[in-house]
Amino acid sequence: MTVSSLSIGLGASAALRNNAASPLFGFLRDFAPFLGSDGVTLHIVGATHDAVAASGILRAESLVRLPPAREGGVIRLTAMTVPDATGRSALDWVIYLLDPIDPITVFPEMHALKRQCVVHGKPFLTNRAAASEWCALAWSHRTDSRDPVLAPQIARWVRPERVGEETIGLIAHDSQKRTMLEFVRAHRAVLSRFGRRLATGTTGGLLNGEIPARMAGEAESLRDLLPPTPENWVIRYQSGPRGGDAQIAVEVLDGHCRRLVFFEDPHVAREHEADIQLLERATRFAPDGCLCVNDRASAETWIKNLARLL
């Protein structure tokens, strides 16, 4: 199989690559026909590269070794997400499988890597389920989804036939609420096929057709993006600062919520940063994992590829 040129950043915490049964190698075995195809290059951080190369799962010529994390490998990966003078980034996606108790998750370079992915519209995939769903959907965009090698991965990681039983979380910071309303308006038919939709505070109110008092000054500009009459389209939890992120995190931990569309504002300090990190960390603790997309470009790619399978 040949795919158009694709450049992927890859890393994994030590605990997720320490033996043949580890999540990294399970993921690579599942998607070797896609990741090992012509046109795909993996830029891999230090020790992760060495483990992948030793496994023999992928062609050596498709693997590019970056320095180890302790020698700046994650910093280099971060810089590769930033567009050059021509507007092109060296990376299309980043897959970094993170053990939630790995200290690197709190290092500034890991926060910067995630932030730059959000700024530049690059998927940042941090658990096996997220990486697997993203790759299955991307693969299906290039290959018949009934292909006998691909079909089992779609059935396992995307589960399109069960979307009516699935839950999705919809969260947006204040500067991103209009973006969320536009996204939902454009894809309401697909999102309505999920069995449950969860949202925090103000975002939930808007998605249900209510303009909160604190946004009264924006009422006219938002009205055309709201449903015609108020409804209970989403289950509305508390606002993020008042615990809504934690409430949705429990849904993730319990395996009820397997996808989050979380439009973050990467340009402002967030007073409830700990709550945001708690929710993101929950996606790595969840027994089945959870796909979280944090920017409009990635969300558009994900939902359009999903829609093709529904």
Which of the residues 30, 84, 147, 245 is marked catalytic?
Answer: 245
38 is catalytic: no
Q: Are 51 and 13 in contact (CB under 8 A)?
A: no
Give the residue numbers annotated as catalytic, written as ranges: 245
